[in-house]
Amino acid sequence: MNRLKEIKKLRKLAEELQLDNCQILRKYNMQELCSIYNGIGPDSFPDWLREAISALHPSLAVVALIHDVEWHESDQSQEKFDESNARFKQNGYAVAKNQYAWYDPRRYIVMNQARRFGNICQKFGWKAWTSPCECAVCEKKRRKEKKENA
């Protein structure tokens, strides 16, 4: 699936499931979301590794989209950092419950992975949260500001 179609599908799914903070996605057009969303995993991972993790956990892609946009908008505060990571888990549970019946083991696998990924972000993500965003949207904004200040 091409990237634009994937993002469009994920944004629609986030709104259909009424995931917490899905409204954040409305601030951006599809191309901006394509630049911000990197799949499951930090920017420091090589692309092939993020792609592999995302392929292994397709149910959590919609959750990662919201999470990536929140990190893109990082205000570098501990409070918002904690909220974003907790929301990853909460939204992951919501997706699992929506996609799989209570008797389907995949429901609990997805919930467990959402919990684990949220905890990993909480434990190891502070440096990324407090670093300037490196996506194309931010890069374009920095170039524009630099040009205006020159």
pLDDT at 131 over 80: yes
**Sign of the CA dihedral running 98, 100, 103, 108:** negative
For the chain, give the mean pLDDT.
91
Residue 149: pLDDT band with limits 50, 70, 90: confident
Q: Is the dihedral of CA 8, 95, 109, 72 positive or negative?
A: positive
| Residue 62's pLDDT band (cuts 50, 70, 90) | very high
Predicted confidence at residue 42, as pLDDT, reads 83
Nearest to 81 by CA among 115, 126, 39: 126
Closest CA to 62 of 31, 98, 109: 98
Hey, what are 147's tokens?
């040009």
Q: How far is CA 78 from CA 85, 107, 135, 148, in A?
A: 11, 30, 22, 32
User: Which residues lie closer than 8 Å to 107 by C-beta, 6 or more apart?
Assistant: 96, 97, 99, 100, 101
Four-CA torsion 56, 58, 60, 63, nearest 10 degrees = 140
**What does pTM read for this prediction?**
0.90
Tell me what pLDDT residue 135 has: 78
pLDDT in tens, 79-123: 999 999 999 999 999 999 999 999 999 999 999 999 999 999 999
Report pLDDT digits (tens) over 9-24.
999 999 999 999 999 9
CB atoms within 10 A of CB 139: 13
Task: Return the half-sphere exposure (C-beta side, CA atoms, 13 A cut-off) of residue 7.
Answer: 19
